[in-house]
Amino acid sequence: MTSRNRAATNQPPPLAGHNVVTSDVALVEAVTRHAGASVVDDLVGLGEAAGTAEAREHGRLANRHEPELTTYDRFGNRIDEVTFHPSWHWLMERAVGHGLQAAPWEQQAEGSTTAHVRRAAGFMAWSHTDPSHGCPISMTYAAVPALRADPDYSALAKEWTPVLAATTYDPGIRPVSQKLGALAGMGMTEKQGGSDVRANVTEARATQVDGEYTLHGHKWFTSAPMNDVFLMLAQAPGGLTCFLVPRALPDGGRNPLDIARLKDKLGNRANASAELELDGTLAMRLGDEGRGVRTIIEMVAATRLDCVLGSTALMRYTLNEAAWHVAHRAAFGGLLLDKPLMQNVIADLQVEAEAATALAVRLAAAVDAADDPHEAALRRIALPLAKFWVCKRTPGFVAEALECLGGNGYVEDSGLPLRYREAPLNSVWEGSGNVNALDVLRALGREPEVLSAWITEVGHARGGDARLDRAVDDTLELLGEAGDAEVAARRLAGRMAVCLQGALLVRFAPQEVADAYCTSRLGTSYDGTYGTLTSPVSDLRAIVERATPVVS
């Protein structure tokens, strides 16, 4: 028999045909808890579509054929267009069609109390297809609260919100009046400042029209440059100010927004990220001059939520692949899944993913209850905590899941190298770890209600686990310690986040999951290495069963 006729043996079948919503037990439990079983039922179709071989192939193709920039047309006209592979548009059309962009804000305004939980679960599920296209979806979601933050310019919100919330994907550079649906982006950072946006030098010059300016300068990192509208920061006479910048002018012409080049990024490569040059770019002021950061802060908060959702989705996707592999791959006389040490690794990854899922959906529920003072205060402190902790845990998690596949996980065909390159992204974008840790300190120092909200939230689990109680007390002592608070900011943010996750698991997760989390993450000997749980074998098996996808 020649080698070309040999069938592969001891290889797992492709993981396709599973419902990424209903197979995720922790997600189903969290959504049911905060929004009800009917919302889970509403997501079944999306979960089924995300788990198909077709969706997986479109995700692969969108990343294989990266976006291309054309600055001039054949006649020498400046056009600054980015073209995408058809698979990118296939993914975007379905993401928008499922209302994963700005639709929840309109649904909430119409009386829904579960729109953001539904959207969060859907965003995580659809991210299994490809993480890159979540960026324009996320920025569109985040733009609406920023637009609504300025009551004096509500006309802009009224003009843009309906098309941003529309579930029709309508690409192409045209005026908003001609669009069935629109997407939004943001341009905050500049080359000399990065996260320090107050160092921005882009200048905004007022025109003769009230609220209208032209921008002159640059933006160092603007993703999805083909979106229809952007929120940008620039220096007006009164200080740093937020502006709305349309891609197309009302008369159908193109706003002078030059794409200098596309970024050559580590990951997120199916999505275009650009350096922009602004020279007479038309912009409408959003909020008062000098209050740009305050105006755009709601957009930052919403994108931080999506960073948590995206990182949680990366955890779940890679864990699915790892659990599926070890359930079908034999070595050393039996299935890898039956080996005690591999059970420990998979169970430990599942515990981490469950903690991230519980916290992510809890944050989305806080958005649904934005008028509740406790929920608003909790969202203020828990978002930077979760952004700091969950996003920072993701690269190590993905590496461990990849290792479960051995060499098979290191090759591009597995899809895991793509996720490994993606894994650091959410910890970098919308404020790195230091920025979020310092934001925690800022909130604690200026808004006493946020600490009360954190204490109340973890207090709901008081008495449920002695290790959690001790960790909460130790964290409160850390808050009261004298010394340089900034030096301890990361340690504090990490401990507060772990306590939040632990409290949610103690209250709602199966006993074996909560016990494994509290024993490891809240124990004195934990060193962060996955696969070091001390749980009984029976508990490990039960946790592993929650990790393994079910294919219909």
Closest CA to 496 of 516, 479, 514: 479
Task: Out of 25-39, 239-253, 437-451, 524-538, pick the least confident.
Answer: 524-538
Question: What value does the mean pLDDT take over residues 265-280?
Answer: 97
pLDDT at position 440 over 60: yes
With respect to residue 486, please indicate whether it lies within any of the assigned structural domains. Answer: yes
pLDDT over 80 (residue 517):
yes
Q: Where does the pLDDT of residue 227 fall: very low under 50, low under 70, confident under 90, or very high at 90 and above?
A: very high
Residues 273 and 313 both lie in one domain: no
Residue 214 DSSP SS3: strand
Confidence class for position 193, pLDDT limits 50, 70, 90 = confident
Per-residue model confidence (pLDDT) at position 153: 61
Query: Do the beta carbons of residue 311 and residue 304 sit within 8 Å?
Result: no
User: CATH no. for residue 404?
Assistant: 1.20.140.10
Give yes or no for residue 290 having a pLDDT over 60: yes
Q: 506 pLDDT exceeds 90?
A: yes
Listed residues 235, 265, 290: the one ending a domain? 290
Task: Indicate the pLDDT class of residue 346, thresholds 50, 70 and 90.
Answer: very high
Q: What is the CA radius of gyration of the chain?
A: 24
The predicted model scores a pTM of: 0.96
96 and 176 part of one domain: yes
Verify that 203 and 74 share a domain, yes or no: yes
Using the structure block, give the residue that is written with the tokens 């393994």. Answer: 548
pLDDT for 2: 55
Cα–Cα dist 61/514, whole Å = 39
Boundary (domain end) residue, out of 265, 290, 315: 290
Q: What would the mean pLDDT of 330-340 be, rounded to a whole number?
A: 95
Kindly state whether residue 527 falls inside one of the protein's structural domains: no
* pLDDT for the residue numbered 484: 82
Q: Are residues 279 and 399 in the same domain?
A: no
Percent of the chain, pLDDT > 90?
Answer: 90
Length in residues, the chain: 552
Domain match, 445 and 366 both: yes
Which residues constitute the domain of residue 268? Answer: 25-290
Distances (CA, A) of 304 to 4, 329, 390, 427: 50, 38, 11, 10
Residue 152 or 305, more confident: 305
Does position 3 have pLDDT exceeding 70, yes or no? no
Cβ-contact 533, 520 below 8 angstroms? yes
Same domain for 286 and 299, yes or no, is no
2 belongs to a structural domain? no
Residue 1 counted as domain residue: no
Cα(339)–Cα(192) distance, integer angstroms: 52
Question: Would you say residue 209 lies in a domain?
Answer: yes
Q: Number of folded domains in the chain?
A: 2
Same domain, 89 and 130: yes
Pairing of strands 78-83, 184-187: unpaired
438's tokens: 């310092």
Indicate if 179 and 326 belong to the same structural domain: no
pLDDT for residue 392 is more than 60? yes
Query: Which of 225, 259, 290 marks a domain boundary?
Result: 290
Q: Look-up: residue for tokens 């637009």?
A: 147
CATH number at residue 196: 2.40.110.20
One domain for residues 37 and 64: yes
SS3 81: strand
Predicted local distance difference test score (pLDDT) of residue 298: 83
Among 146, 104, 143, 148, CA closest to 123:
104
Q: What is the mean pLDDT of residues 384-400?
A: 98
Q: Note whether 70 and 201 are same-domain residues.
A: yes
Q: Assess whether 232 and 300 both reside in one domain.
A: no
Structure tokens at 218: 């640059």
Q: What is the pLDDT of residue 358?
A: 98
pLDDT of 525 higher than 80: no
Count other Cβ atoms within 10 Å, centred on residue 48: 18
Residue 437 belongs to a domain: yes
Q: Could you tell me what percent of the chain has a pLDDT over 70?
A: 98
484: three-class secondary structure by DSSP: coil
* Domain-located, residue 232: yes
Q: What is the mean pLDDT of residues 164-184?
A: 97
Across the chain, mean pLDDT equals 95
The answer as to whether 272 is a domain residue is: yes
Provide the token pair at 362: 């809890």
pLDDT tens column, 71-94: 999 999 999 999 999 999 999 999
CA–CA gap between residue 227 and residue 509 (Å, rounded): 40
DSSP reduced 3-state for 18? strand
* 524 or 11: which leads in pLDDT: 11
CA angle 90, 160, 375 (to 5 degrees): 90
Phi then psi for residue 140, to 5 deg, are -65, -45
Between 525 and 431, the higher pLDDT residue = 431
Contact 333, 322 (CB under 8 A): no
- Cβ within 8 Å of residue 426, ≥6 positions away: 307, 308, 310, 311, 314, 387, 391, 394
In a shared domain, residues 314 and 191: no
CA 299 to chain centre: 13
